[in-house]
A = this chain, B = another copy of it.
Amino acid sequence: MTHTAAFTAVKTVKAYERVVEQIEGAISRRELRPGDRLPSERELMLTFEVSRSTIREALRVLESTGLVRSRPGDPRGPEVLQASPAILAKTVNRLVRLETIALSELVEFRIMLEGAACTLAAQRRTEVQLNEMCSAIDAMQAEVAHGPVAFSQADVAFHVSVWAASQNQLLQICGEATRGALIDMVSDELDRAPDSQARMELSLAHDREILAAISAGDGATAGRLARSFVIEYYGDIISPESRAALGNVAYEAPV
């Protein structure tokens, strides 16, 4: 009986996939950094020894994952991009739309992230960050007169500043992605906002409360407020038991 080596499954690796692998690897090994330029397609086909079609297919998937961007006519070649949560938001969005992920799960997740971010922000915010949040609130106040769209932008700016103050980029990224996906999903309903004026005033009041807690360094309160406001905002989406379970997702500093 002949000795049978521990053969491993053979999978055909397509040429463009190997190109993607190598470029992606170079990026994740930091050999290529955001702003750097890839060689032109015609140069790449020489170094990888494949045709331009293959190179282009590889660039398309790298582009669809947000790693690079090609611009016609640019002699400097494709640009390596800064990794952005936007692509994450798009992916989440698609999954939710295809009903792989329930909207209620998304809301739940957002409640957790928002609460945690506010608690951490209260505990860690610097004076500068506090000032930024105050300015953001002032901007919101100013935008109330300019309608829901402008107001919503200012609202986002405030929350971004809160996330930044949490000093945790992952929280920031996931929060951003979740918010983006959520906004997309429920924007239809917000379009026909019944009494936008009241809504804006309410949001503003809520954010002021959160800011006060953050300013006071009261993480527990900040987190609790944030959670309850998100729950209130998306209340009709999530189930009552979820609403109850998520209400006290505290993120409190130890005694």
Contacts and interface: CB of A to CB of B under 8 A. Distances in A.
A249 B85 CA distance: 25
Contacts of A106: 170
A92 B248 contact: no
A126 to B, nearest CB: 14
A27 B61 contact: no
20 contacts: A28-B98, A57-B60, A60-B61, A61-B61, A82-B100, A91-B91, A92-B170, A95-B173, A99-B170, A109-B170, A109-B174, A112-B251, A116-B249, A120-B245, A244-B253, A245-B254, A248-B251, A248-B252, A249-B250, A250-B251
A105 B169 contact: yes
A169 B101 contact: yes
Contact of A254 (B60, B87, B247, B254): B247
A234 to B, nearest CB: 15
A226 interface: no
B65 A94 contact: yes
A184 to B, nearest CB: 11
B83 A245 contact: no
B61 A83 contact: no
Contact of A83 (B98, B123, B168, B173): B98
Contacts of A118: none
Nearest to A253: B245
Interface residues of A, number: 60
Interface of A: 12, 16, 24, 27-28, 53, 56-57, 60-61, 63-65, 72, 82-85, 87-88, 91-92, 94-102, 105-106, 108-109, 112, 116, 119-120, 123-124, 167-171, 173-174, 178, 219, 244-245, 247-254
A110 to B, nearest CB: 9
Nearest to A102: B169
Contacts of A53: 53, 56
Contacts of A97: 28
